[in-house]
Structure 1
Amino acid sequence: MNDEARVANPSAVAAKKKLTSQFFKKGIVIALFSGVMYGFYSAFLTLGMSKGVWADWYGVNKAALSAFVITYLLGALGSAVNDTCSAGWALLNVGIKGKLGDFFRTIKSKPGRVMILAALVGGPISSTAYVVGLQMAGSIVIPITALCPAIGAILGRLLFKQQLNKRMMLGIAICVLSSFMIGSTSIAGDAPKGMFLGICIAFIAALGWGFEGCVAGYGTSMIDYEIGITIRQVISGLSNLLILLPIFALMAGNIGLSANLATQAFTSGPAMIWIAIAGFCAFISYMSWYRGNSMCGAALGMACNGTYSFWGPFCCWIVLGVFAGMKGWALPPIVWIAAVMMVFGILIIAMNPLDLFRKGRGQGEQKIAS
Structure 2
Amino acid sequence: MKEVSNAVSLEAVAAKKRLSRNFFKRGISLALFSGLTYGMYTAFLTMGMTKGVWSDWYGDNTAGLSAFVVAYLLAALGSAINDTCSAIWAILYAIAKGKFGDFLRCINTTPGRIMILAALIGGPVAGTAYVIAIQMAGSIVVPISALCPAIAAILGKILFKQELNKRMAFGIAICVFASFLIGSTGFSGGASAKTIAGILIAIIAALAWGFEGCVAGYGTAMIDPEIGICIRQVTSGIANLFILVPIFGIMAGKVSISFNLAMQAFTSAPAMVWFALSGLLSVITFMTWYAGNSMCGAGLGTACNGTYSFFGPLFCLLLLGIYGGMDGWALPSVAWFGALIMMFGILTISMNPLDLFKNRKQEGVADEAA
Fold in common (TM above 0.5): yes
- Give the superposition deviation at 1:360: 7.3
Q: In the alignment, does 2:21 pair up with 1:38?
A: no
Kindly indicate whether the alpha-carbon contact (under 8 Å) linking 2:140 and 2:186 is maintained by their aligned counterparts in 1. no
Structure 1 residues 329 and 192: alpha-carbon distance in aligned structure 2, compared to 1, 3 A threshold: farther
Letter in 1 for 2:157: R
CA separation in 2, counterparts of 1:21 and 1:68?
53
Kindly indicate whether the alpha-carbon contact (under 8 Å) linking 2:151 and 2:206 is maintained by their aligned counterparts in 1. yes
Which residue of structure 2 aligns with residue 312 of structure 1? 312
CA separation in 1, counterparts of 2:69 and 2:277?
25
CA separation in 1, counterparts of 2:15 and 2:75?
52
- Give the superposition deviation at 1:186: 2.2
Kindly indicate whether the alpha-carbon contact (under 8 Å) linking 1:37 and 1:281 is maintained by their aligned counterparts in 2. yes
CA separation in 2, counterparts of 1:348 and 1:297?
14
Which residue of structure 2 aligns with residue 223 of structure 1? 223
Which residue of structure 2 aligns with residue 17 of structure 1? 17
More divergent stretch after superposition (45-54 vs 256-265): 256-265
Letter in 1 for 2:21: S
Kindly indicate whether the alpha-carbon contact (under 8 Å) linking 1:120 and 1:239 is maintained by their aligned counterparts in 2. yes
Structure 1 residues 20 and 278: alpha-carbon distance in aligned structure 2, compared to 1, 3 A threshold: same
Taking structure 2 as the reference length, the TM-score comes to 0.95
Letter in 2 for 1:233: Q
Kindly indicate whether the alpha-carbon contact (under 8 Å) linking 1:185 and 1:191 is maintained by their aligned counterparts in 2. no
Which residue of structure 1 aligns with residue 148 of structure 2? 148
String of CA shifts for 1:228-268, please: whole Å, max 9, x gaps: 11111110000001111111111111011111111111110
Aligned residues: 363
More divergent stretch after superposition (6-15 vs 180-189): 6-15
Letter in 2 for 1:297: G
Which residue of structure 1 aligns with residue 72 of structure 2? 72
Letter in 1 for 2:358: R
Letter in 2 for 1:329: W
CA separation in 2, counterparts of 1:154 and 1:71?
31
Which residue of structure 2 aligns with residue 297 of structure 1? 297
Kindly indicate whether the alpha-carbon contact (under 8 Å) linking 1:83 and 1:234 is maintained by their aligned counterparts in 2. yes
CA separation in 2, counterparts of 1:314 and 1:269?
26
- Give the superposition deviation at 1:277: 0.8
- Give the superposition deviation at 1:8: 2.6
Which residue of structure 1 aligns with residue 49 of structure 2? 49
**How large is the Cα RMSD of the aligned pairs?**
1.6
Letter in 2 for 1:74: L
- Give the superposition deviation at 1:10: 2.4
Which residue of structure 2 aligns with residue 139 of structure 1? 139
- Give the superposition deviation at 1:105: 1.0
Secondary structure class of the residue paired with 1:138: helix
Letter in 2 for 1:26: R
Kindly indicate whether the alpha-carbon contact (under 8 Å) linking 1:137 and 1:192 is maintained by their aligned counterparts in 2. no
Secondary structure class of the residue paired with 2:108: coil
Structure 1 residues 361 and 213: alpha-carbon distance in aligned structure 2, compared to 1, 3 A threshold: farther
Secondary structure class of the residue paired with 1:222: coil
CA separation in 1, counterparts of 2:153 and 2:61?
44
- Give the superposition deviation at 1:191: 4.8
Which residue of structure 2 aligns with residue 200 of structure 1? 200
Secondary structure class of the residue paired with 1:358: helix
Kindly indicate whether the alpha-carbon contact (under 8 Å) linking 1:21 and 1:361 is maintained by their aligned counterparts in 2. no
Q: In the alignment, does 2:265 pair up with 1:265?
A: yes
Which residue of structure 1 aligns with residue 171 of structure 2? 171
String of CA shifts for 1:310-341, please: whole Å, max 9, x gaps: 00000000111111111111101110000000
String of CA shifts for 1:333-352, please: whole Å, max 9, x gaps: 11000000000000000000
- Give the superposition deviation at 1:361: 8.7
CA separation in 2, counterparts of 1:244 and 1:30?
32
CA separation in 1, counterparts of 2:313 and 2:190?
19
Q: In the alignment, does 2:239 pair up with 1:239?
A: yes
Structure 1 residues 14 and 51: alpha-carbon distance in aligned structure 2, compared to 1, 3 A threshold: same
Kindly indicate whether the alpha-carbon contact (under 8 Å) linking 2:56 and 2:63 is maintained by their aligned counterparts in 1. no
Taking structure 1 as the reference length, the TM-score comes to 0.95
Kindly indicate whether the alpha-carbon contact (under 8 Å) linking 2:94 and 2:100 is maintained by their aligned counterparts in 1. yes
Letter in 1 for 2:96: I
CA separation in 2, counterparts of 1:358 and 1:243?
50
Q: How does 1:105-120 map to 2 (within 5 A)?
A: 105-120=105-120
String of CA shifts for 1:151-174, please: whole Å, max 9, x gaps: 000000000000000000000000
String of CA shifts for 1:213-232, please: whole Å, max 9, x gaps: 11111111222221111111
- Give the superposition deviation at 1:61: 2.4
Which residue of structure 1 aligns with residue 122 of structure 2? 122
More divergent stretch after superposition (8-17 vs 298-307): 8-17
Letter in 1 for 2:129: A
CA separation in 2, counterparts of 1:20 and 1:361?
15
CA separation in 2, counterparts of 1:269 and 1:149?
36
Secondary structure class of the residue paired with 1:64: coil
- Give the superposition deviation at 1:131: 0.2
- Give the superposition deviation at 1:2: 6.2
Letter in 2 for 1:249: G
Which residue of structure 2 aligns with residue 86 of structure 1? 86
Which residue of structure 2 aligns with residue 159 of structure 1? 159
CA separation in 2, counterparts of 1:140 and 1:11?
52
Which residue of structure 1 aligns with residue 368 of structure 2? none
More divergent stretch after superposition (331-340 vs 51-60): 51-60
Q: Could you list the structure 1 runs, at least 4 aligned residues long, displaced by more than 4 angstroms after superposition.
A: 1-5, 190-193, 360-363
